[in-house]
Structure formats: structure tokens, C-alpha cells
Amino acid sequence: MQHTTTVVIKYGGHAMDKPDLSAAFAADLARLHKQGMRFVIVHGGGPQISALLQRLHIESHFIDGLRITDKDTMDAVEMVLCGQVNKSVVGELAKLGTPAAGISGRDGGLLLAHVKDPALGLVGTVDSVNPTLTRSLLDAGFVPVVAPVASGPDGQALNVNADTAAGALAGALKAEYFVLISDVPGVLDAHGRLITALTPEEVTRLRQDNVITGGMIPKIEACLHALKQGCQRALILDGRAPSSLRRYLLDDAHLGTVIHT
């Protein structure tokens, strides 16, 4: 792997929730960054959002895995993603001497979106990505840490699925790698066995057969979008495996599910 490689990482809310795993992730990324690799992190925060909403006595409701987001919920989402979670990731990297900059999709016009479905409230579908700010931070040696909150047509904050936001950014940057780090081994077949590699055609068949369902669908769609827009390789990686990111990028270890054209 060339050391100028750009890697866009979707860092899952559940994978971030365990201090030992988040510390190991930060250590691996710091080591790889020092070797010259360029990273962009797009983080989730579903569990942290749910925890705050519970403390605020705001009930959570979901449609097809997407959180119904009214104004009060959107305020909480932005507080958690752009404040608590974003700065926690930046802080973990800073402790290890890795320069990171926390931004959201609203900064620099990074993510522009429209309301996906009025029934979902302030949930956005990404229309366009302007990676200028992200590229500037990368060129200056920073690790951009991006909260998946977009700007709507009227400037209103919109809640965007983190998988979708990360895939859109990976495509816009033409990244060499798009890595979804989550708390699943990868894509499993009908018998629960890991599928190590998939083509878009195979993905279509597995969806038709109801093998790929639920929360795996936005992950797969994010990978396919990134590849279609010019990203070279997409991977769904189990963040529970020790040093999975470093082992994959440095040692080419066969981990997770690779989506390739």
C-alpha cells in the first residue's frame, strides 16, 4: 500500500461504545497516520443519541431502522454528534499526538441534503458533497472527523445515516479505501457464514433472496455508491476484532466483506 493512500472510515456507534476497542482503534489509526496514510473518519452515534433522548424523556421511534426526527430530537442529535461524540473521537486521537479536526456535514457546504420522507421528519438524503474543506484538512496533515449532520435547502440541520454520509464522502474524495467499521463480522450468507467478497451483481441477488436485510442494507448501499463514484475498494469490517483496521490495511489480512466491481 502506498503511504499517500486515502482511507475513509465509517466508525460505528456501537464499536465506539467500548473503551478498550475505541482506544485500540485510535492507537492503530495514529500509527498508520504517522506512516503517511490519510484518514477521514465519519462517525455514528446511535446509542449515544438514544441515551440522551432517554435522559430528556424524549421517546425514540423508528421506521425501517431510521430514527423519526422532530425538532427536539434533531437538537439532541446535533448536540450528541457534533459535540459529545465528535470531540470524544478528536480527543482520543489528540492523546496519541494525531492532529484531528472535528467538523460536521454543515461546515463548508460538505453535505447538502433534502428531507427523505416527511413521515421521518428531519432525516436527510444527501444530494451533493463538496469535499473542499475535507481535502484542505487532509493536505494540512489533519484527520478530519465528520459528524453526519447535513444542511437542508433552507439551512436547517438534517439527520443523515452515517453509513450513507461516509459512502458519499468516500466517493467524492475518490478514496482508495472505504471501510465501514461496525459490530458485525461482515455480510453473512443464509447459513450465517461470512461472505468474504461480493460483486454488485451478487449483492442484488442476496437482497432479492432476503439474505441482506435490515441495517446491512444501508451499509451495502453506501459501499456500492462509493465504488460507483470512484472509490477503489469498499470493506465492511468487524470493529470487535483486535487491530482489524491495521491488520487489513498493512497486512492485507482477509477480514470482513470486501465489495468490489
Q: Which residues are catalytic?
A: 10, 13, 46, 163, 219
Q: Find out whether 176 and 232 touch, Cβ atoms under 8 Å.
A: yes
Cα Rg for the chain, rounded, in angstroms?
17
Distances 140 to 109, 133, 135, 144, 243 between C-alpha atoms, Å: 19, 11, 9, 10, 26
The C-alpha atoms of residue 54 and residue 5 are separated, in whole angstroms, by 41
Distances 109 to 39, 50, 96, 152, 243 between C-alpha atoms, Å: 20, 27, 30, 10, 34
